[in-house]
Structure 1
Amino acid sequence: MQTLLNKIQDLLDVKDLDLQSKLNDFDEWDSLSMVALISFAQKYYHINISINELMACQNIQNICDLILPLGGGADKLKSSLSSISLLFSIQKSA
Structure 2
Amino acid sequence: MDKFESSIAQILEVDEVSLNDELESFDAWDSMTILSIIAFCYDEYNTSLDANEIKSVKTILGLKKLIEGKKLV
| TM bucket, shorter chain | 0.7 to 0.9
Look up the match of 1:57. Answer: 57
Return the alpha-carbon distance in structure 2 between the equivalents of residues 4 and 16 of structure 1: 11
Aligned residues: 72
Residue 68 (structure 1) shift: 2.1
Listed as ranges, the matches of 1:1-94 within 5 Å are: 2-71=2-71
Larger helix percent: 1
Return the alpha-carbon distance in structure 1 between the equivalents of residues 5 and 69 of structure 2: 15
Q: Could you tell me which amino acid in structure 2 is paired with residue 20 of structure 1?
A: N
* Aligned-residue RMSD, C-alpha: 1.6
**What is the identity percentage for the equivalent residue pairs of Structure 1 and Structure 2?**
26
Return the alpha-carbon distance in structure 1 between the equivalents of residues 30 and 7 of structure 2: 15
Q: TM-score, normalised by structure 2?
A: 0.87
Deviations 1:28-87, CA, capped at 9 Å, x for gaps: 01110111110111111111111000011101101000112323xxx7xxxxxxxxxxxx
Q: Which consecutive unaligned segments of at least 5 residues does structure 2 have?
A: none
Which 4+ runs in 1 deviate beyond 4 A? Answer: none
Return the alpha-carbon distance in structure 2 between the equivalents of residues 70 and 14 of structure 1: 26
When Rg is computed on C-alpha atoms for both structures, the one with the higher figure is: 1
Does the aligned pair in 1 maintain the 2:6–2:16 contact within 8 Å?
A: no
